[in-house]
Chain A
Amino acid sequence: MNGEIETQINLKPSEMLLHLGPQHPLQPGPFLLDLVLEGETVKDATLEMGFIHKGIEKILENRTYLQCIPITDRMCYLASISNNEVFCSGVESLMGIEPTERAKYIRTIMLELTRIQSHLLGIGEYATDIGFLSMFLWMIREREPIISLLEMVTGARLNHSFVRFGGVAYDLPAGFKEKTLRTLNEIRKKVEKHDEIMSRDSVYLKRTKGVGVLSRKAAMELGVAGPAMRGSGVDYDIRKVDPYLLYPDLDFKVITAPNGDVFDRVKVRLSEILESIYIIEQCIDMIPGGPFKQGYNPYLIKPKPGEVYSRVEDPRGEMGMYIVSDGTFKPYRVKVRGPAFATMQALPPLLKGAYMADNAAIASSMDSCTSEVDR
């Protein structure tokens, strides 16, 4: 955004200003990372964003509640069910309703499937960024059956718009349970294999161990979210801390890793995939019958005036939405608190002092999503 930044920074003769972006192979979306380099060492980093600011918060103010749901999808296509969920659960508590029992199960399963596919792609993108192209393609291969499962239920591969107030859009199709169990079994085997590769390959270990260390204290202070936080040893997971849907009754661990380096952040993601598979396997046997949505007209949703802050655990971390209703058909104000936004903010301090070559590893181990940061 700031064309004059070059003149603002006083560079020493040995230093060089390198603009990473707004278009760069490293990035999941456009942002501008200005690095002051001395040789290969990053002396200073500043981040500029807003290249794809979509004004989603403003758009949401001008849509009815039902129309808002597809818009929330577009914040980040990798976590669209999470985005639906955070909006719908907020509106539900404004309306004072609860999803039906069956819908709770379906939503939990869908959320965990989303987490698996997002983590798979996140690890894959990270692997390309350290030059491990094969791992990326393996991850894409593993992700495909998960996407098919989501497509089987929601009819869409990425932007699902699946969650409704008090329920979900469609019921589970026939044969979903068998297919899911079969797929998850395969994915578990493959993920365990990749985990083995990633914990034994010496070149990979050299590249990631002790790189981009975010201490427990620093992580809490910088307010990073999700796997980046848990990779630093903080067991902060909204599913445990502020549980929603079925999570209070489910048996699962919060995955943490002690060291806070690049290796640990990715390790946390890999283990979370396994944990999510375990969660789905618990749920899928117990899905009760009954209606999958509340029986009222979704077009005439008019919550009482009030405000709510709802939170869910997005694949990337704590996703919050602050919704103000003024008693009309449209929300008065919606504020999105994205996990990628929080994590991205912590990137410049983390890059300071790192090697130029480690930039890629550190930045993509955060698994940020520019689309969601800019909203």
Chain B
Amino acid sequence: MDYIQLAFDLLGNPWIRGVVGLIVVGVIFFSAIVMVWLERKFLGDIQTRPGPNRVGGRFGLLQLVADAIKLFTKEDIVPENADKPVHAGGPIVALTSAFLMAVAVPYGVVSFEGSEYLLAVTTMDISALYVEAVAAVSIIALFMAGWGSNNKYSLLGAFRNIARMLGYEVPLGLAVLSVAVMAQSLDFVQIVSRQEQLAWFIFMQPLGFIVFGVALLADLGRIPFDQIEAEEELIAGVFTEYSSMRWGFAFFAEYLHAIVGACLVVILFLGGWSGLPFLGTLFIPPVLWFVGKVFVVIMVMIWIRGALPRVRIDQVTDLGWKVLFPYSLINLVWAAAVAMVVS
């Protein structure tokens, strides 16, 4: 008990909190690096090529470090007619949005001498709503990048992004709402514990899971929904005019969004850090459960990227408004009905 008390005392010290915060930031960055590495290797496997295999041994473990060094030492080119503050702000806002999202995500629980402690930067009773809200900030970030670059390709990319996000934030929000209705809470912790009581929400509302998954992929802008930076159409879309670490920020923000997105899938639909019921006797720490599930979700995302061509932008908005939106409404009704029956 003394240790716990000591830990809380230490956390009261702002300096210690700062250090812990930096560690958390480091872990988040590190997970993004791991994801980039995984993506390269796994995609390489799908495409029958070795992937990075030179820097850092046979598995290219240090490839991303080399990339980061390259990005840091590259010349920072800003177009002459760019709206400079807006241009510079784009990637920063994108990265900020990703970190703000990461803040509210709980990663698991630690049992210590009989009581459970939540592993999270912060807890709030509306965390699902909060994550949705700060995720939407990235739309502004991409529009800033597209508008500030003073480049027609960037602008087209930014327009596409807005058109797409308008179509997808709605089903995404409705899917989260259905989960909240079923869990009777907007708090991630409550949602997870509700899933422990009932069943994973992927089984309770499979339609909702599909809607959320597709909308999330679109939200993250990964293939098949990477129209905003479709290389063959728009060169690099909104990030055409970015170089060096400005581009690096945007790149990191994208992968952080992907990781937080995977965390959301796990928390909302895959039972968070709770284990599989039939493995009840086998002890695996909740954090490992959580990380393992996130890993699986990320692998599925990469797999989808390797297996599908890009969808056209008008087809994307069509899919959002004409398919996902009605389905998400149906799912909401279903979730409400089930919630009434269960409670």
Contact = CB atoms under 8 A, between A and B. Distances in A.
A, B bound:
yes
Contacts of A129: 232
Given A25-B235, A138-B47, A203-B224, A40 B230 contact: no
A359 interface: yes
Nearest to A197: B307
Contacts of A37: 156
Contact of A355 (B232, B235, B310, B314): B314
B100 interface: no
A204 interface: yes
Nearest to B49: A137
Contacts of B48: 137-138, 141
A318 B87 CA distance: 49
Contacts of A132: 308-310
B231 interface: yes
Q: Say whether chain A's binding surface is mostly helix, strand, loop, or mixed.
A: helix
A206 B310 CA distance: 10
A97 interface: no
For this complex, into which size category does the number of interface residues on chain A fall?
A: 20 to 34
Contacts, number: 79
A131 B224 contact: yes
A16 B232 contact: no
A139 B217 CA distance: 27
Contacts of A141: 48
Interface in A118-133: 127-133
Nearest to B156: A356
A261 B309 CA distance: 17
Contacts of B315: 206-207
Interface residues of B, number: 29
Interface in B302-338: 306-315
A207 B316 CA distance: 11
Nearest to B230: A131
B186 to A, nearest CB: 34
Interface in B33-47: 43, 46-47
A357 B309 contact: no
Given A138-B47, A357-B227, A203 B235 contact: no
B17 interface: no
Nearest to A18: B152
Interface in B44-96: 46-49
B223 interface: yes
Given A18-B152, A137-B47, A137-B48, A356 B310 contact: no
Closest 10 CB pairs of A and B: A131-B310, A132-B309, A137-B47, A360-B232, A129-B232, A357-B312, A26-B232, A130-B309, A131-B309, A25-B231
Interface of A: 16, 18, 24-26, 37, 39-40, 127-135, 137-138, 141, 201, 203-204, 206-207, 355-360, 364
19 contacts: A18-B152, A18-B153, A25-B235, A128-B232, A130-B309, A131-B223, A131-B230, A132-B309, A133-B47, A141-B48, A203-B224, A203-B308, A206-B315, A207-B311, A355-B313, A356-B156, A357-B227, A357-B314, A360-B232
